[in-house]
Amino acid sequence: MNVLHTMPPPREREGLHVSVSQVKSYQICPAKYAHHYVRGTLPTHRAVSLAFGTAVHAALATFYEAQMNGRRLTVEEVQAAFSDRWSVELRDDLPLHFDDGQSADDVRDQGVAMMEVFCRDGFMPDQVLAVELPFRVDLPDPDTGEILDIALVGAIDMVAAHQGRTIVVEHKTAARRFDQTRLTYDFQPSAYLYAARFLNLPADPTAIFQVLLKTKKPAVDVLPVTRNETARMEMLDTFAQVLKGIEAGAFPRNRGWACSDCEFRRVCDR
């Protein structure tokens, strides 16, 4: 199987577009979405979970890129890749918002321990075909089939060949295990498998969530997920409905779990 050529992302981000993370952000809290993507409100801080996830993604990308180039990194090299990126995150102008009693060193140690578990229990495919593969694809209205004037953009964390299958892999960090509802209905795999149709991948890819758990004892869950035509239509309906809300300027607050770490709370509470 040929290694896919990975293009730099900017071209895919030109013109009107929306991503899975933007739609999920709108679903969590439309007001937060508006602060971030519409009004350009200055955030007060960054969530540690986002910075941590970025550092983990960078370390895994380093690991899989090395595999794509024929080299297996050692545990120490993967841990160094995580630590290096964590240091970059700490230098950002926006302060990180740590949980009570938690320090930057605690988080780094958690990530270093997690990288050891990843090297032992993580997904080790037969061949890595692409890392951070960007895409930009048309979105049809699920009712009319008409192409929307906003494209779906994103980047697939990894495409791999394993045991005769092509697999689209999404890395996640999470505080707890994914439940069955998420495994069945999360529209991210549906969206990425839909995008994969246009990326010249070998036919009929499947998907995997690789979840790195931030539990006291770190763990890695490698979770195959399947999606059918019904799931694809539900994903397209979700995009169409959320885009209608955004275009209509419907940005209500959704007070809930996301408020505790919200970088726009000061403005929201006025």
- Binds ligand SF4 by CB under 6 A, chosen from 20, 22, 32, 212: 32
Q: Do strands 17-19 and 151-162 pair parallel, antiparallel, or not at all (unpaired)? A: parallel
Torsion of CA 111, 114, 120, 121, to 10 degrees: -130
**258 interacts with ligand SF4 by CB under 6 A:** yes
How many chain residues touch ligand SF4 (CB under 6 A)?
12
Q: How far is the CB of 156 from ligand SF4 (least distance, A)?
A: 28
Q: CA angle 134-139-141, nearest 5°?
A: 165
Q: How far is the CB of 269 from ligand SF4 (least distance, A)?
A: 7
| Dihedral sign, Cα of residue 10, residue 86, residue 170, residue 257 | negative
Pairwise CA distance, residues 126 & 142, whole Å:
36
Q: Which of residues 136-195 bind ligand SF4 (CB under 6 A)?
A: none
Q: How far is the CB of 82 from ligand SF4 (least distance, A)?
A: 29
Residue with tokens 């992302």: 9
Among residues 34 and 196, whose Cβ is nearest to ligand SF4? 34
- Binds ligand SF4 by CB under 6 A, chosen from 31, 167, 231, 236: 31
Q: How far is the CB of 33 from ligand SF4 (least distance, A)?
A: 8
Among residues 32 and 227, whose Cβ is nearest to ligand SF4? 32
Stretches 28-36, 95-103, 172-180, 242-250: which one binds ligand SF4 (CB under 6 A)?
Answer: 28-36
Q: How far is the CB of 245 from ligand SF4 (least distance, A)?
A: 14
In what helix (H) or strand (E) does residue 49 lie, and over which residues does it extend? helix 48-68
Pairwise CA distance, residues 170 & 183, whole Å:
12
Among residues 71 and 255, whose Cβ is nearest to ligand SF4? 255
Contacts with 244 (C-beta within 8 Å, 6 or more apart), sequence order = none
| SS3 category, 115 | helix
Q: How far is the CB of 255 from ligand SF4 (least distance, A)?
A: 5
Q: How far is the CB of 184 from ligand SF4 (least distance, A)?
A: 26
Among residues 41 and 206, whose Cβ is nearest to ligand SF4? 41
Q: Which of residues 198-257 bind ligand SF4 (CB under 6 A)?
A: 253-255
- Other C-beta atoms closer than 10 Å to the C-beta of 182 total 16
Residues recorded for the chain = 270
Residue 171 CB burial class (10 angstroms; 0-12, 13-18, ≥19)? buried
- Binds ligand SF4 by CB under 6 A, chosen from 1, 4, 29, 218: 29
Residue type, 150: I
Q: What's the distance, Cα to Cα, between the start and end of the chain in Å?
A: 57
Residues forming the site for ligand SF4 (CB under 6 A): 29, 31-32, 253-255, 258-259, 262, 264-265, 268
